[in-house]
Amino acid sequence: MVSAAIIQTTLSPYLKIDGVHPDFVLVLVIAWTILSDLEEGLAWALIGGLSLDFMSAAPFGIFTLSLVIVAIVANFSHGRIFGSSIVLPLGFTFPLSILFNAFALLILNLLGRPVIWADAFNEIFLPVAIFNTGVMVVIFPPLYYLYRRMHPQPLSF
C-alpha cells in the first residue's frame, strides 16, 4: 500500500487524462475488501490512507478517514453476489470513488475550505470514478490471483 501511495503521488502528473488521475490506493482498498474481509480491508485502508496523508498537503487524516469509510461500505458486498466475478468490483468502484472524493471534500469544507459542489461533481467526481473503474479492470485480476494464492480453497467432495 505504501508503494501504491508513492506511485499514485509521484506518477499522477504523468497519468492524468483531462486533469484527473486514478486513485490507485482507493482501487486497491476496494478490490481487497471485496476479496477478503473487513479486517484486511481496514488494514489496507489505514496503511494506504496514512501513506497518502503523509505525502499530501491536505489536513492530516482526510485520506485515512475517507478510505476507512470506503472499506466499511465495500465490506457490505463481501462474499455476497457474483463471487469472484469482476462485475462486483466494477459495479462498486464507480460509486465508492464518488463517495471517497465527496467525503474528502466534505471534510475540507467543514474545515473552512470553500468547495463548489457542482463543479467538483462534474470535473472531479465523475471523471475520476470512470478512470478508477477502468483501473479496476486491470488491477482486480492479479489481486484475485494473489488472494487465491494466499487463501487456497479446500477441495470439497
pTM of the model: 0.90
CATH topology of domain 2-150: Arp2/3 complex 21 kDa subunit ARPC3 (1.10.1760)
Q: How confident is the model at residue 83 (pLDDT cuts 50, 70, 90)?
A: low
Mean pLDDT calculated for residue range 51-75: 95
Q: How confident is the model at residue 80 (pLDDT cuts 50, 70, 90)?
A: low
pLDDT of residue 73: 94
Torsion (CA) 48, 141, 125, 26 in degrees, nearest 10: -10
pLDDT of residue 79: 56
Distance CA 97, CA 83 (A): 21
